[in-house]
Amino acid sequence: MSVFFINCDKKQQVESITTLELKELLATKNIQLMDVRTPEEIKEGFIETAVFANYFEEDFKTKASNLLDKNKTVYLYCRSGNRSEKAGVILKEEGFNVIHVLGGFNQWKKEN
């Protein structure tokens, strides 16, 4: 019989907001926003103030760290929300305060 333990360390959990909450933030504050989608996906559209780092690239962590300020909260989005949550865990381990956007760009397009 095998026993598996799941690490539910709060340190690895990434806080989330909705696309409507992101829209409010963008209207009232200068926030740090990162799109972690592929270049092909970005061609389909993006949120204007975002910087880009492809989650699937080997140097994602380095590229993201070079683009972002650790002193400011980082808001992450991808196509549907899965990659941005995974990217958030990586960046959180690097010392960033991270919030990922639920539903990603797909949800953003539906609402805007």
Pairwise CA distance, residues 25 & 18, whole Å: 11
Task: Domains for the chain: give ranges and CATH numbers.
Answer: 10-111 (3.40.250.10)
Rg from Cα positions in the chain = 14
What does the DSSP assignment read for 9-56? -GGG--EEE-HHHHHHHHHHS--EEEE-S-HHHHTT---TT-EE--TT
Residue % of the chain over a pLDDT of 90? 87
Q: What is the pLDDT confidence band of residue 11, given thresholds at 50, 70 and 90? A: low
Is residue 84 helix, strand or coil?
A: helix
Query: What's the pLDDT at 13?
Result: 84
- pLDDT, one tens digit per residue, over 24-76 is 999 999 999 999 999 999 999 999 999 999 999 999 999 999 999 999 999 99
Q: What is the pTM of this model?
A: 0.87
Query: What's the pLDDT at 112?
Result: 78
